[in-house]
Amino acid sequence: MRVTKLEHAALVVEHSGNRLFIDPGKFTTPITEASGALAVVVTHQHDDHWTPEQLGRIRDRNPEVRVFGPAGMADAAAEAGVEVERVAPGDEFEVGPFRMRFFGGRHAIIHSSIPVIDNVGVLVNDALYYAGDSFAVPHDVQVEALAAPAGAPWMKIAEAMDYIMAVAPRRAFPTHEMVLSRAGKDLSNARLKWATEQHGGEYLALEPGDSFDL
């Protein structure tokens, strides 16, 4: 199974010629190479994690692709004419070679003035975990690779460090970092690397387009 990081929060997981996309949003370069896509997981409704245009590009090349998201995202997508299969924490689906288990339930608090929305974390093939905009820990799971948030309006770096140490993955890499400058990315990478190594893990300072195998 190969994992490729795209810009911001978007990931592509490839297995046996099939693809699973996660969170293709507005800060991600338009996805034009999407052949073989069986499914898309969207963790929540914010447009830095999905847009109708990104989903449309994937669906144009894969008319039978299945899109999964929490209730709030599904409602928002329906207004744009996009059909989404609703998922909630505790749900599990298999699509081709991809087994997806969902955790969490709520977006991290941004500010008391901003409503808290639905958000799910997804564990792919019991190996790759991404919690969307939350610090939801998948308990009783040995995470092989964790997509760890590097920068966002809803977090500070100490929280991301504590989160990595709570999950204790074998490997971690940065996501959600398009809000950071180059200097900010370097700072976050140094802090997240330290946190990953506290339990003997390896930190991968991936840039958009970089891949690794699980």
| Domain regions of the chain by residue span | 2-90+98-109+116-204
Residue 181 confidence (pLDDT): 97
pLDDT at 140 over 90: no
- What's this model's pTM, rounded to 2 decimal places? 0.96
Separation of alpha carbons 77 and 54, rounded Å: 12
> What is the per-residue pLDDT across 78-110, written as a single tens digit (0 to 9) for each?
998 999 999 999 999 999 999 999 999 999 999
Nearest Cα neighbor of 135 from 48, 195, 213, 66 is 195
CATH code for 2-90+98-109+116-204?
3.60.15.10
Return the number of other C-beta atoms located less than 10 Å from residue 206's C-beta. Answer: 20
What is the percentage of the chain residues whose pLDDT exceeds 70? Answer: 100
Separation of alpha carbons 192 and 69, rounded Å: 28
What is the percentage of the chain residues whose pLDDT exceeds 90? Answer: 98
Q: Quick check: 26 and 51 in contact, CB under 8 A?
A: yes
Q: Structure tokens of 124?
A: 């792919």
Q: How many Cα atoms occupy the beta-carbon half-sphere of 39 within 13 Å?
A: 19
Separation of alpha carbons 197 and 141, rounded Å: 18
Amino acid at 78: A
The secondary element (H helix, E strand) that includes residue 158 is helix 157-167
pLDDT at 139 over 90: no
CA distances in angstroms from 90 to 71, 93, 99, listed in the order given = 14, 10, 13
> What is the per-residue pLDDT across 173-207, written as a single tens digit (0 to 9) for each?
999 999 999 999 999 999 999 999 999 999 999 99
> What is the per-residue pLDDT across 32-79, written as a single tens digit (0 to 9) for each?
999 999 999 999 999 999 999 999 999 999 999 999 999 999 999 999
Separation of alpha carbons 3 and 14, rounded Å: 7
Assign 20 a pLDDT band (cuts: 50, 70, 90): very high
Q: Structure tokens of 129?
A: 């975990």
